[in-house]
Amino acid sequence: MSYRLDPAIPMSEALRRVAFAELDLAHGSLSTPPDRQSGVHSARKCLKRLRSLLLLARPGMPEPAFANLTDRLAAIARGLAPARDAHALIDAVDKLDRETEKGPGQGPIHSLRAWLEKRRHAAEQNLERSAASDAMRGLLELRPAFAGLAVYPDDFRSLTKGLRRCYRTTRQCFKDGLATDRDEDLHEWRKGVQHHWRQMQLLAPCWPSELTARAEAARSLSQVLGDDHDISLLGRLVSTPTMTFGSPDETAAFLKRCHKRHKALREEAGTQGELLFAERSRPFAERIEAYWSIAASGAAKAVAESRLDNVVAFGELRTGRAS
């Protein structure tokens, strides 16, 4: 099942259907050792999608239930993080290596990549030893907890509050990130953008053309902010006094390239963010609620007409037999 809520069924049931599909997908992704790295990446995306779903539904849930589910998801994600994070930083090094004016493999990039390769190898060994099996067990244990997932009222009103809260927080993080230019503030904005992207995927059935386009725009922005975050981590690593990946001049040149890339990525993110978060939170959430109400009404009407057609057809069949 795709990561979409169905307007034709009660909201609690729609949420549970999506949640079970993500749990199954995550478990299946981790049970394929030949391609474990790809499986970890897929499973982590499932966990993030589940987190976005819970944040959307949070106002309609008992707070202890929300806290229990999110804490357990976070624990599973932490066990899978080292292998994926090491791989992501290697990708970031390779991107900078391609962009540098020097030849590939020169300066601190070469030794940094070698260090990250060792780190990735250690993380993958731990993954095979216990992390993957621990995550799969945790996913199976989550199924009974998600079976009780429900919102009150059992309709879109619960999600309207969650959508508005998430959008408002992310919009504020955008403003804070632009104002301070601090890595931490931009990372918080990135997390909010990721939730917004996935929540637009969940709600896309109420107006597929508009919300799918919005989800794609948020996904693109998330990738830009993700690249920026990875470069921040690399710069922090290279600047650590106890770590040496090259001469002082080479390290300074590397950090200069990081700064230049930061500037370009943050300018791009700012432009995209202005467009994506131009609307205020209340009218945005109320507009999506109106879309969903129309879609739900249309789905209910279609179901009613289908049932009526079946009744008429059955009546005609009985009449034919009686004659």
Judge whether 85 lies within some domain.
yes
Judge whether 316 lies within some domain.
no
233-279: per-residue pLDDT in tens?
A: 999 988 888 888 878 888 888 888 899 999 999 999 999 999 999 99
User: What whole-number distance in Å separates Cα of residue 205 and Cα of residue 197?
Assistant: 14
Judge whether 310 lies within some domain.
no
User: What whole-number distance in Å separates Cα of residue 323 and Cα of residue 320?
Assistant: 5
75-90: per-residue pLDDT in tens?
A: 999 988 877 787 888 8
pLDDT tier at 323, thresholds 50, 70, 90: very low
Q: What is the pTM of this model?
A: 0.89
CATH number, residue 254:
1.40.20.10
User: What whole-number distance in Å separates Cα of residue 107 and Cα of residue 257?
Assistant: 12
- Mean pLDDT value across residues 2-29: 96
> How is residue 164 written in tokens?
């508005």
φ and ψ at residue 152, rounded to 5 degrees: -135, 130
Is the pLDDT at 42 greater than 80? The verdict is: yes
Judge whether 66 lies within some domain.
yes
Judge whether 15 lies within some domain.
yes
Instruction: Please report the pLDDT score of residue 240 as a whole number.
Output: 87
Is the pLDDT at 104 greater than 80? The verdict is: no
Counted domains in the chain: 1
* Amino acid residing at 126: N
Is the pLDDT at 39 greater than 90? The verdict is: no
Domain that includes residue 172, residue range: 11-305
Instruction: Please report the pLDDT score of residue 207 as a whole number.
Output: 96
* Amino acid residing at 237: L
Judge whether 291 lies within some domain.
yes
User: What whole-number distance in Å separates Cα of residue 75 and Cα of residue 65?
Assistant: 16
Residues 246-278 as b/e (b if ≥16 CB within 10 A, e otherwise) read beeebbebbeebbeebbeebbebbeebbeebbe
Is the pLDDT at 27 greater than 60? The verdict is: yes
Judge whether 313 lies within some domain.
no
> How is residue 207 written in tokens?
């107006």
274-313: per-residue pLDDT in tens?
A: 999 999 999 999 999 999 999 999 988 877 777 666 655 5
Judge whether 274 lies within some domain.
yes
